[in-house]
């Protein structure tokens, strides 16, 4: 998998993780089911790190923090919201790197 594909997949995973967390916080989703799904997503994200590079690391770390917050014996809302904020920032970073309309992509098209 090339870097762009890995970052795009990491973006998808991080965005899905953010959506799951939001559903859980609105009590629309079971906490243990959310934690299980996030764990699977985090494992896939970890496998993508070698190809996705440094920008994807923040998404992976954020998924880990969200997972830890959800698996705590008592839900710590401050930790959950802090992890959610980090995850949202990671999603925005990956989105900017993988968007087809970015200046960087345009530069590659001009040169290529």
Counted domains in the chain: 1
Looking up residue 89, the CATH number of its domain turns out to be: 1.20.120
Model confidence over 8-27: pLDDT tens digits? 999 999 999 999 988 888 88
Average pLDDT, the chain: 85
**What own/partner pairs with CB < 8 Å and gap ≥ 24 does 95-99 have?**
95/11, 97/7, 97/55, 98/4, 98/7, 98/8, 98/11
Residue labelled with tokens 């629309």:
28
The share of the chain scoring above pLDDT 70, in percent, equals: 88
Q: What is the pLDDT of residue 58?
A: 92
Other CB atoms closer than 10 Å to residue 15's CB: what's the count? 17
3-class secondary-structure state, position 53: coil
In a domain, residue 87? The reply is yes
In a domain, residue 13? The reply is yes
Instruction: Of 26-30, 78-82, 96-100, give the range with the top mean pLDDT.
Output: 78-82
Q: Where are the beta strands (DSSP E) in 7-111?
A: none
In a domain, residue 63? The reply is yes
In a domain, residue 111? The reply is no
pTM: 0.83
Given a contact cutoff of 8 angstroms between Cβ atoms, the answer to whether 13 and 19 are in contact is no
Domain that holds residue 48: 3-99
Those residues with Cβ within 8 angstroms of residue 23's Cβ, 6 or more apart along the chain or in another chain: 29, 34
Report DSSP state, residue 52: H
In a domain, residue 78? The reply is yes
Which is more confidently placed, 11 or 106? 11
Q: Band of the pLDDT at 111, cuts 50, 70, 90? A: very low
């Amino acid at each position: 998998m090339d870097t762009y594909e890995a970052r795009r997949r990491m973006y998808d995973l991080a965005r899905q993780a953010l959506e799951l967390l939001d559903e859980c916080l609105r009590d629309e989703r079971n906490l243990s089911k959310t934690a299980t799904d996030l764990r699977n997503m985090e494992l896939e994200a970890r496998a993508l790190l070698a190809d996705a590079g440094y920008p994807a690391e923040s998404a992976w770390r954020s998924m880990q923090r969200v997972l830890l917050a959800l698996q705590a014996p008592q839900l710590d809302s401050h930790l959950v919201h802090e992890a959610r904020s980090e995850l949202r920032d990671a999603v925005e970073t990956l989105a900017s790197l993988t968007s087809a309309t970015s200046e960087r992509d345009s530069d590659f098209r001009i040169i290529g």
